[in-house]
Amino acid sequence: MRVVFLIPTPLRPFADGRSRIEIDVAKDPPALGDALEALWESAPGVRDRVVTEQGEVRPHVNVFIGTESSRWTGGLATPIADGAEIAIFPAISGGVC
Amino acid sequence: MKTVRLLVGTTKGVFFLRASAARTAWEVEGPHLAGRAIYSLAHDGRAGRQRVWAGAASMHWGAVLVPTDDWGRTWDEPQEANVKFPADSGLALKQIWQIAPGRADEPDTLHCGVDPAALFRTSDGGKTWEVVRGLLDHPHRERWQPGGGGLCLHTIVSDPANAERMWIAISSGGVYRTTDGGRTWTARNAGIRAEFMPEKYPEFGQCVHKIVQHPSRAGRLFAQNHWGLYRSDDAGDSWQDIARGVPSDFGFAMTIHPHEPDTVYIIPIESDMVRVPPDGKLRVYRTRNAGRSWEALTRGLPQRGAYDIVLRDALTTDSLEAAGIYFGTRNGRLYASKDSGGSWRLAIDGLPSITCVRAVVVDDRKPARRPAPRRAARR
């Protein structure tokens, strides 16, 4: 099964400049965590910017599946459908300048 | 020709300032690593290097150590994060508070101190970093308490004469010392007051903001505490109150003169609840007799309506014979003295909030040894 990751501009230096990465996910059916693991194999530098060393999505990073934030759909356990578009976004993080 | 370079960390990146040894005019360039908070900078001039390390933290993408060997023209951004807690710790890196190159005879050894409080070490010049287990697994850890800046290990003091001995300071945990190269650590806070706890002199838990040591006197330490100024003459086994003649013994910044081991500088803050200069006067205080008395250094500094405060690593010295003293403020001003603090000039105004300052004297005639390139994203 295949998913598409959209990589934000600040992380493209860690993804060979790519804005869009198509990944085959071996596990079927996969969860978001499985898809991200597949992404890390392709772009390990992206991993350390998106998740902590304990594997948790950083507090000021949002991962959307389609238009839904994974924070509200089960986090890394969120089921992923074939062809899903997964977008990594820096959060608003207002209030601190 | 000798030049003085100031490495200035801010909440929005790194700035480099440069002046001749006369230190009359400063050229500024930056920001480097723009947008990231730089709470730690270090220059490593050992083994022919001219390397600057920055602890760069992005609110979004986490914290990494980033070196440059050409004063910021290129930064060796690590592909994978280079400072990471082991999985079994359950901890995740928040901030890098201190970078400390090791002794001259260990040119590939550096340490860094981080939030949550831990010490990391590299012995291959920064290619790989490992947590110091003896401190990570310390039984006191569960009772250390974070301060406003987090639970930070912000101070690393090596013993220039004994590779096995080192001191670190944690807010809030206090001073710890190892005498076996980091395998075991002992709290060394006897005499340091913990104003914010019911027991005023606990074994540990103090909020020691900074400790300094002169390399010629490894067993003597000075401490700026969260309320309190102290000196230890027995390598931290006991501490004596030396806060006589200062308007407040609350503050963060402390540094020591490069050539005079009894000369120490601090910048007092009114109180923990009112973090501004006492009486609206921005004053550096200097002792030249190891804390028996202090004098205010005010010439050239604002003495009315001053609200600049100085963080723990934003006060430093250069190594010239007529020592330069420098400090940067939360309001983005950098002051410089070229006569050991006797007079001050505003070197630059309008920087982002300054978090740390380091000074380096560079002989520009000597070419730096360029290291072999590593796999990294260049920015």
DSSP letter string over B159-224? -TT-TT-EEEEEETBEEEEESSTTS--EE--TT---TTSSSSS-SS-B-EEEEE--TT-TT-EEEE
Q: Do B79 and A14 touch (CB under 8 A)?
A: yes
> Is residue B132 helix, strand or coil?
coil
Pair B223, B176: CB distance under 8 Å: no
Residue B62 distance to chain A (closest CA, Å): 6
Residue A13 distance to chain B (closest CA, Å): 6
What does the pLDDT average to over B270-277? 96
Distance CA B119, CA B137 (A): 11
Distance CA B216, CA B161 (A): 9
- What phi, psi does B20 have (nearest 5°)? -70, 175
- CB-based burial, B191-200: b 16+ in 10 Å, e otherwise: bbbbeeeeee
Of B16, B88, B99, B100, the residue nearest B64 (C-alpha)? B99
Q: Do B92 and A54 touch (CB under 8 A)?
A: yes
**CA closest to B57 among chain A residues:** A49
Q: Do A58 and B62 touch (CB under 8 A)?
A: yes
What does the pLDDT average to over B142-169? 95
> Tell me: the pLDDT tens digits for B60-103?
999 999 999 999 999 999 999 999 999 999 999 999 999 999 99
- What phi, psi does B42 have (nearest 5°)? -150, 145
Q: How many CA atoms lie within 13 A of B54 on its CB side?
A: 33
Complex confidence, ipTM: 0.95
Q: What pTM value is reported for the model?
A: 0.95
CB atoms within 10 A of CB A91: 14
> Tell me: the pLDDT tens digits for B193-222?
999 999 999 999 999 999 999 999 999 999
Q: Do A49 and B61 touch (CB under 8 A)?
A: yes
Q: How many CA atoms lie within 13 A of B21 on its CB side?
A: 10
Q: Do B90 and A54 touch (CB under 8 A)?
A: yes
Confidence of residue B366 (pLDDT cuts 50, 70, 90): low
Question: At CB < 8 Å, which residues of chain A contact B?
Answer: 10-11, 13-14, 44-45, 47-50, 52-54, 56, 58, 60-61, 90-91, 93, 96
Confidence of residue B370 (pLDDT cuts 50, 70, 90): low
> Tell me: the pLDDT tens digits for A51-86?
999 999 999 999 999 999 999 999 999 999 999 999
Write out the H or E segment, with its range, that includes residue B136. helix B133-136
